C-alpha cells in the first residue's frame, strides 16, 4: 500500500519485521511445546529462546538476501534463525513443521490484530455519527428519492441511519474476527504426521488462537469473510460519502466539508471548495470491494493446497485492512468538521412550493370518502399546477372546488404541518440508545 493511505498503527501490523517476528514466535513456541513432550532437549529449547535473533531491519535484509538463494521465503527465514541460534539448539527450529503451519498461524494472528484496530476505528466513527445525529435531530431538511424532493426529514434522522448501518458492519467485523482467530500446526496435509496435536494446542493457547482442522492451509473462506467485512464497511463509508458529496453540490449547498486555513480547493480556481475527503472515500471503497472478489477466488485451491492464493493475499489482506482503517479515520474527521447549513436546508425544503405535503393532502381527501385513485388525480393535478406556475401548492389546493366541496372539509393546517410530518422521527433517533 502506498504511504498516502496508510495509518501508522495498521502499517505496523503488516510490516516485514512484524510478520517475521510472528513467524519467530510461532517457531519458538513450537520448539518449547516439543520440549514439554520430551522431543526437544529442554536446554536446547531454552537456548532457542535466549539466543533468538532480534527481528529488525537488518534481520529482514538477511532473510531477503538468503531468499535469493533458496527461492523460498520461509526456508530462508529458518536458515537465518538457525544460524543465529547455532549450536545444538538451532536445528530444532521448525522441527516437524511445514512452512504454511507458520505462515498461516502468523497471518491469522496479524488479521486478528488488524480487526482489533478496525473495531476501535468503527467504534469511534459510530460515536461521531451518534453525536452528529443527536445534534441535528431537529434540523429539518427535504428528503429526496431518485434525487427529487420527496417529503421532509431531519439531518439527524439521516445520520442516525448511517450509525445503525455501521453498527451492523461492526457485528460483521466481530464475527469475521472470531472466524479468523484460528491457527494450525498439523503438518503437510493436516494429519499431524510429524507434529502431535499437543504442540498445536500449546502454541494456540499461548497466542490466543483456536486450533482448527485444516489441510496444509487454513480454509480460505475465513479470509474471504474478513474481506467481506472490510468491503461492507467500505460500502457503508461510501454511502455516507456519496450523500455528503451530493449535499455539497453548489445547487444544494446544505453541508460543506471543513476547510482549513491555507487550504486550496483548486490550483486554477481560487473560489473552489471541493468535497475531497468524501470523493477519496468513494474511490478507495472501489478498491476494497474489488479485493473481495479476489479473496473469494482464493477459496478454491487444488487438493490439500497450492499457492495460487499466496501472492493474492500478500496484496489484498494488508491493503484492504489499511484502506478501511484509513477510510474510517478520514470519515470521522470529515464528520467532526462538517459544516451543516440549517438555513439552506429549510430554504431548499420550501423551494418546491409545498408540494412535498402532497401525501397528507391525499390521505385527507381519502378520509372524506374519495377513492385513492380519485384523490391521487386531484392532488397530482394541483401539485403539477403549483410547480408549473411556481406558486403555493397550498393556495392551489385551497382554491380547488373538488377539494373545497368535500364534506367534511379537510384540515389544510394539519395537512401542511411540518412538525406533524416529523413527529415520529424521534423513534429513529431513539434506536441510537442501543448502540
Q: Strand 210-211 and strand 182-183: pairing?
A: parallel
Distance CA 43, CA 45 (A): 5
Q: How far apart are CA 241 and CA 254, in angstroms?
A: 14
Distances (CA, A) of 41 to 29, 38, 71: 14, 7, 31
Residue linked to cell 384540515: 411
146 carries an active-site annotation? yes
Q: Looking at domain 3-92, does it have CATH number 1.10.3470.10?
A: no
Which residue among the candidates 50, 146, 267, 424 is catalytic per the annotation? 146
Cα separation of 404 and 310, whole Å?
Answer: 74
Which residues are 142's β-sheet partners? 152
Instruction: Supply the mean pLDDT for the chain.
Output: 97
pLDDT at 99 over 90: yes
- Residue 152's beta-bridge partner residues? 142
User: Residue 191: CB partners within 8 Å, gap ≥ 6?
Assistant: none
Residues of the chain within CATH 1.10.275.10 domain(s) are: 3-92
Does residue 279 register a pLDDT over 80? yes
Checking if the pLDDT of 325 tops 90, the result is yes
Res 275: pLDDT: 95
Task: Measure Cα distances from 297 to 78, 108, 221 in Å.
Answer: 30, 19, 10
Residue 1 has pLDDT above 90, yes or no: no
Cβ atoms of 104 and 184 within 8 Å: the answer is: yes
Fold of 99-192+215-254+274-345: Fumarase C; Chain A, domain 2 (1.20.200)
Q: Which of these is catalytic: 36, 193, 266, 351? A: 266
Q: Cβ contacts of residue 249 below 8 Å, gap of 6+?
A: none
Beta-carbon contacts of residue 331 (< 8 Å; ≥ 6 apart): 125, 237, 240, 241, 277, 281
- The pLDDT tens digits of the residues spanning 137-189 come to 999 999 999 999 999 999 999 999 999 999 999 999 999 999 999 999 999 99
266 is catalytic: yes
- CA–CA distance, 149 with 60 (Å, rounded to integer): 59
Residue that is written with C-alpha cell 409545498 in the block = 354
User: Which long-range contacts link 63-66 to residues 24+ away (Cβ below 8 Å)?
Assistant: 63/20
Q: State CA 121 to chain mean position distance.
A: 9
Residue 9 DSSP SS3: helix
Band the pLDDT of 354: cuts 50, 70, 90: very high
Q: What is the pLDDT of residues 192-249, one digit of tens each?
A: 999 999 999 999 999 999 999 999 999 999 999 999 999 999 999 999 999 999 999 9
Cβ atoms of residues 278 and 204 within 8 Å:
no
Q: What is the CATH number of domain 352-428?
A: 1.10.40.30
CA 418/CA 412 separation, integer angstroms:
12
Q: Which has the minimum average pLDDT: 177-186, 258-267, 376-385?
A: 258-267
Strands 255-256 and 210-211 come out as unpaired
DSSP assignment of 112-170: HHHHHHHHHHHHHHHHHHHHHHHHTTT-EEEEEETTEEEEEEEHHHHHHHHHHHHHHHH
Place of cell 391525499: 362
For the chain, percent of residues with pLDDT exceeding 70: 100
Supply the pTM of this predicted model: 0.95
pLDDT at 9 over 90: yes
Terminal Cα distance for the chain, rounded: 33
Instruction: Answer left, alpha or beta for residue 151, where phi above 0 means left and psi between -120 and 50 means alpha.
Output: beta
Cell numbers at 360, concatenated: 397528507
- Which DSSP letter does residue 193 get? S
Interacting residues of 136 by C-beta distance below 8 A, sequence separation 6+: 154, 155, 156, 159, 340, 342
Position 258 pLDDT exceeds 90: yes
pLDDT in tens, 23-59: 999 999 999 999 999 999 999 999 999 999 999 999 9
How many helices (H) and strands (E) in the chain?
A: 19, 6
Cα 189 to the center of its chain, rounded Å: 34
State the DSSP code for 232. H
> How far is the C-alpha of 365 from the C-alpha of 79, rounded, in Å?
85
For CATH 1.20.200.10, list the domain ranges present in the chain: 99-192+215-254+274-345
Amino acid at each position: 500500500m502506498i504511504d498516502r493511505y496508510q495509518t501508522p498503527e495498521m502499517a505496523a501490523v503488516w510490516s516485514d519485521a512484524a510478520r517475521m517476528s510472528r513467524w519467530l514466535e510461532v517457531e519458538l513456541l513450537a520448539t518449547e511445546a516439543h520440549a514439554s513432550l520430551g522431543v526437544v532437549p529442554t536446554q536446547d529449547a531454552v537456548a532457542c529462546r535466549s539466543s533468538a535473533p532480534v527481528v529488525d531491519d537488518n534481520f529482514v535484509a538477511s532473510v531477503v538476501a538468503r531468499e535469493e538463494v533458496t527461492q523460498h521465503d520461509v526456508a530462508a527465514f529458518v536458515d537465518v534463525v538457525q544460524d543465529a541460534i547455532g549450536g545444538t539448539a538451532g536445528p530444532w527450529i521448525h522441527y516437524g513443521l511445514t512452512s504454511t503451519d507458520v505462515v498461516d498461524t502468523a497471518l491469522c494472528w496479524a488479521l486478528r490484530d488488524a480487526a482489533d484496530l478496525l473495531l476501535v476505528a468503527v467504534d469511534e466513527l459510530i460515536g461521531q455519527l451518534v453525536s452528529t445525529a443527536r445534534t441535528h435531530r431537529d434540523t429539518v431538511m427535504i428528503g429526496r428519492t431518485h434525487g427529487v424532493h420527496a417529503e421532509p426529514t431531519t439531518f439527524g434522522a439521516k445520520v442516525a441511519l448511517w450509525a445503525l448501518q455501521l453498527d451492523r458492519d461492526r457485528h460483521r467485523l466481530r464475527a469475521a474476527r472470531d472466524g479468523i482467530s484460528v491457527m494450525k500446526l498439523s503438518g503437510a496435509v493436516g494429519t499431524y504426521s510429524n507434529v502431535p496435536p499437543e504442540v498445536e494446542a500449546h502454541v494456540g493457547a499461548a497466542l490466543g488462537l483456536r486450533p482448527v482442522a485444516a489441510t496444509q492451509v487454513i480454509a480460505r473462506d475465513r479470509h474471504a469473510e474478513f474481506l467481506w467485512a472490510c468491503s461492507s464497511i467500505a460500502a457503508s463509508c461510501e454511502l455516507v460519502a456519496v450523500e455528503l458529496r451530493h449535499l455539497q453540490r453548489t445547487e444544494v449547498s446544505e453541508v460543506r466539508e471543513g476547510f482549513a486555513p491555507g487550504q486550496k480547493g483548486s490550483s486554477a480556481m481560487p473560489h473552489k471548495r471541493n468535497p475531497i475527503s468524501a470523493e477519496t472515500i468513494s474511490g478507495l471503497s472501489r478498491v476494497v470491494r474489488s479485493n473481495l472478489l479476489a479473496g473469494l477466488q482464493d477459496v478454491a485451491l487444488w487438493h490439500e493446497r497450492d499457492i495460487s492464493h499466496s501472492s493474492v493475499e500478500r496484496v489484498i489482506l494488508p491493503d484492504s485492512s489499511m484502506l478501511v482503517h484509513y477510510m474510517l479515520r478520514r470519515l470521522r474527521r470529515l464528520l467532526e468538521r462538517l459544516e451543516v447549513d440549517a438555513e439552506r436546508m429549510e430554504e431548499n425544503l420550501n423551494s418546491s412550493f409545498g408540494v412535498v405535503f402532497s401525501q397528507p393532502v391525499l390521505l385527507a381527501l381519502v378520509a372524506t370518502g374519495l377513492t385513492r385513485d380519485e384523490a391521487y388525480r386531484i392532488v397530482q393535478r394541483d401539485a403539477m399546477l403549483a410547480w408549473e406556475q411556481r406558486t403555493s401548492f397550498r393556495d392551489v389546493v385551497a382554491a380547488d372546488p373538488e377539494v373545497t366541496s368535500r364534506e367534511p372539509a379537510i384540515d389544510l393546517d394539519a395537512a401542511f404541518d411540518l412538525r406533524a410530518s416529523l413527529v415520529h422521527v424521534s423513534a429513529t433517533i431513539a434506536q441510537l440508545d442501543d448502540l
